[in-house]
């Protein structure tokens, strides 16, 4: 029996060594430029299409080869050496120890309670049944294409969620999955930042995590929402393993890579939690400076490693769209970061109404006063550090987008600010006076109520936009009734206005006009997609990407109505929308 086991192990080692050798040889060959060119040409022949072979793709293959070599060597170390095997055993044991110390059954009731709150909050969003931006294309052609943005896990999970390789509209199931992830995230965030104590008060304080205006824009997506929410959960999970160093490092790397491969916007959550925990440890003297520095150093190291690994070995270059993942050059990085911080702050200030900003100001005030009054450090020092932590946490909430040349400022890219608010609110309501509780609950009540307004606004705008689209298509069908005619090319000019109810909401909540797409605009690609593909008007092809501006051609007017003017020469159509 022992001899048979030895023979099986020997055979397994030989197979691992053989596969490793083949992999290393292949990766080493790819390091040569001539081999990379041959690989790209071979891919062209296999895919039967011409590919854009340039230096950037050659660089991508080079880094993939380096990454492959590193992974093979690491796997060999873990499987073929005693030190590696011991390391794996230690990590497994530490993870078991951490999980055994947590009473997960105590999470069930709070999780269900938060799920009910979030479900109620997005009820009007679900009822609106609104195809939100990318949903427009996915509903028609079933495309995924998350891999274009290096969201490989989203790409794979979507196949299981939709039970098919081609996506179909299965809402509200994806949105329900999203709030499941957000509910778990809220419970874990309270558990981690609340000294392992979960109370109803702290759970209510965590509402900005799942119902801030920015996360609502994620929950409006029928297809993307669960993977956006999963990125938040993945950023929080590592802190369950803080008590064991090796387990924390391993789970952090794994979770951060999952976050990057679902939705990179969540990249600010991990450092945000680290900073807040370090501040609490310092302010309450729960840990020594050496322990805090060790924890901060490990977290910084693992975060930096994960982001660099993703950038060099997993991230696909993307520069020719509405945004870019190109990094700021080192020579102008400081100036670029400061400019991004400024734009981030201005955008949030412009989005939030005076009532919300007043509530946030009070939350910040109570955060500082509580930190100073309960501090076991010198009062003045605690005051200075409190302001510093607020400023640093706010900056970190934007994540690695701070380092990009052209970062995204759409609402869905800013949900880190909601996590920032949730952490502050949880801290403020923990063993604090009733005035602070009232302020936090008042702010969160405003966010909760706004979620209803947002869903109803989507429905109102959809009704108005589809009425305007119906009028446009009716006039086009009268002007050009021949379904067998050759394709015409059209362009939109201007856009329709918002529905009156949305204008009313915008008086107090300016962000609503950034959250709700107009659905018929010359500036949005998705509006062309909706007009073309969802109403079966086939004789028209889109002119969104045309270099020619039809408005400069002085085309003859063929129809002028209250809602729009149509100009055409028979093959080109310009639709001038009126508000």
- Series of mean pLDDT values for 10-residue runs along the chain (579 residues): 56 67 70 65 58 52 67 71 79 89 91 96 95 90 83 90 91 96 96 91 94 96 96 96 91 94 94 95 92 94 93 74 78 92 96 93 94 90 94 95 92 95 93 84 94 96 94 90 73 92 93 93 82 75 65 90 91 88
Alpha-carbon span 132 to 322, nearest angstrom: 17
Domains contained in the chain, number? 3
Alpha-carbon span 293 to 311, nearest angstrom: 27
- Asked if 224 and 317 sit in the same domain, the reply is yes
DSSP E strands, 319-421: none
- Asked if 525 and 463 sit in the same domain, the reply is yes
Give the pLDDT of residue 54: 46
Last residue of a domain, one of 80, 115, 150: 80
Would you say residue 388 lies in a domain? yes
Name the burial class of residue 329, with classes exposed (0-12), middle (13-18) and buried (19+) by CB atoms within 10 angstroms of its CB.
Answer: exposed
Q: How many CA atoms lie within 13 A of 326 on its CB side?
A: 13
Would you say residue 90 lies in a domain? no
- Asked if 107 and 76 sit in the same domain, the reply is no
Report whether 428 contacts 280 (CB < 8 A).
no
Non-local (6+) Cβ contacts of 500 within 8 A are none
Would you say residue 444 lies in a domain? no
Count the Cβ atoms, other than its own, within 10 Å of residue 449. 12
Q: How many CA atoms lie within 13 A of 272 on its CB side?
A: 28
Last residue of a domain, one of 80, 114, 135: 80
Give the pLDDT of residue 354: 92
The H or E element containing residue 489 is strand 488-493
The H or E element containing residue 575 is strand 572-577
- Asked if 224 and 356 sit in the same domain, the reply is yes
Would you say residue 445 lies in a domain? no
Alpha-carbon span 69 to 280, nearest angstrom: 41
How is residue 555 written in tokens?
Answer: 């085309």
- Asked if 239 and 374 sit in the same domain, the reply is yes
Phi-psi region of 536 (alpha: psi -120 to 50; beta: other; left: phi over 0): left
Task: Work out the angle at residue 416's Cα, subtended by the Cα atoms of residues 414 and 422, and round it to the nearest 5 degrees.
Answer: 130
Alpha-carbon span 295 to 301, nearest angstrom: 10
How is residue 342 written in tokens?
Answer: 């400024």
Would you say residue 89 lies in a domain? no
Give the pLDDT of residue 191: 95
Owner of token pair 């990454």: 67
- Asked if 12 and 75 sit in the same domain, the reply is yes
Would you say residue 128 lies in a domain? yes
- Asked if 41 and 164 sit in the same domain, the reply is no
Owner of token pair 């270059």: 317
- Asked if 256 and 371 sit in the same domain, the reply is yes
Would you say residue 243 lies in a domain? yes
Largest Cα span, the chain: 92
Last residue of a domain, one of 401, 432, 463: 432
Alpha-carbon span 87 to 90, nearest angstrom: 5
Give the pLDDT of residue 542: 57
- Asked if 233 and 154 sit in the same domain, the reply is yes
- Asked if 124 and 245 sit in the same domain, the reply is yes
Residue 223: give the domain boundaries: 103-432
- Asked if 186 and 331 sit in the same domain, the reply is yes
Would you say residue 447 lies in a domain? no
- Asked if 111 and 237 sit in the same domain, the reply is yes
């Amino acid at each position: 029996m022992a001899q048979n086991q030895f023979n099986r192990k020997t055979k397994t080692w030989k197979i691992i060594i053989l596969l490793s050798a083949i992999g290393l040889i292949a990766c080493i060959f790819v390091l040569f430029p001539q081999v990379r060119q041959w690989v790209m040409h071979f891919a062209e022949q296999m895919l039967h299409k011409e590919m854009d072979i340039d230096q950037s793709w050659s660089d991508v293959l080079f880094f993939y080869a380096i990454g492959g070599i590193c992974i093979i060597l690491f796997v060999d170390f873990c499987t073929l050496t005693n030190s590696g095997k011991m390391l794996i055993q230690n990590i497994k044991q530490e993870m078991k120890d951490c999980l055994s110390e947590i009473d997960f059954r105590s999470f069930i009731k709070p999780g269900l309670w938060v799920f009910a709150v979030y479900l109620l909050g997005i009820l009007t969003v679900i009822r609106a049944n609104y195809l939100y931006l990318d949903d427009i294309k996915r509903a028609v052609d079933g495309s995924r294409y998350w891999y274009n943005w290096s969201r490989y896990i989203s790409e794979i999970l979507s196949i299981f969620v939709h039970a098919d390789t081609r996506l179909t509209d299965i809402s509200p199931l994806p949105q329900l999955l999203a709030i499941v992830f957000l509910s778990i995230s809220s419970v874990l965030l309270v558990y981690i930042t609340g000294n392992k104590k979960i109370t109803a008060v702290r759970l209510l304080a965590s509402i900005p995590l799942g119902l801030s205006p920015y996360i609502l824009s994620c929950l409006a997506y029928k297809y993307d929402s669960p993977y956006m929410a999963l990125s938040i959960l993945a950023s929080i999970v590592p802190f369950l393993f803080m008590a064991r160093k090796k387990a924390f490092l391993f789970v952090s790397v794994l979770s951060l890579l999952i976050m990057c491969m679902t939705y990179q916007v969540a990249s600010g959550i991990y450092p945000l939690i680290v900073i807040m925990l370090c501040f609490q440890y310092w302010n309450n003297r729960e840990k020594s400076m050496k322990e805090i520095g060790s924890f901060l150093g490990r977290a910084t190291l693992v975060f930096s490693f994960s982001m660099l690994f993703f950038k060099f070995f997993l991230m696909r270059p993307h520069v020719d769209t509405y945004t870019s993942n190109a990094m700021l050059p080192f020579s102008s990085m400081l100036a670029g970061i400061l400019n991004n911080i400024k734009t981030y702050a201005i955008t949030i200030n412009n989005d939030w109404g005076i009532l919300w900003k007043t509530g946030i100001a009070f939350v910040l005030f109570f955060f500082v006063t509580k930190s100073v009054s309960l501090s076991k450090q010198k009062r003045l020092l605690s005051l200075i550090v409190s302001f510093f932590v607020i400023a640093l946490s706010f900056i970190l909430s934007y994540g690695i987008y701070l380092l990009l040349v052209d970062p995204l400022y759409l609402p869905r890219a800013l949900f880190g600010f909601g996590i920032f608010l949730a952490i502050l609110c949880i801290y403020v309501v923990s063993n604090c006076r009733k005035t602070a509780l009232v302020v936090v609950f008042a702010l969160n009540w405003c966010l909760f109520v706004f979620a209803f307004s947002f869903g109803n606004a989507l429905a109102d705008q959809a009704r108005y936009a589809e009425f305007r689209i119906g009028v446009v298509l009716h006039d086009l069908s009268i002007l050009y009734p021949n379904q067998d005619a050759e394709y015409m090319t059209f362009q939109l000019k201007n856009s329709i206005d918002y529905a009156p109810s949305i204008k009313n909401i915008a008086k107090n909540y300016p962000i609503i006009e950034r959250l709700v797409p107009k659905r018929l605009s010359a500036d949005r690609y998705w509006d062309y997609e909706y007009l073309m593909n969802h109403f079966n008007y086939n004789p028209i092809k889109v002119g969104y990407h045309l270099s020619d501006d039809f408005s400069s051609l002085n085309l003859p007017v063929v129809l002028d109505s209250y809602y729009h003017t149509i100009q055409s020469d028979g093959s080109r159509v310009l639709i001038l929308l009126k508000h």
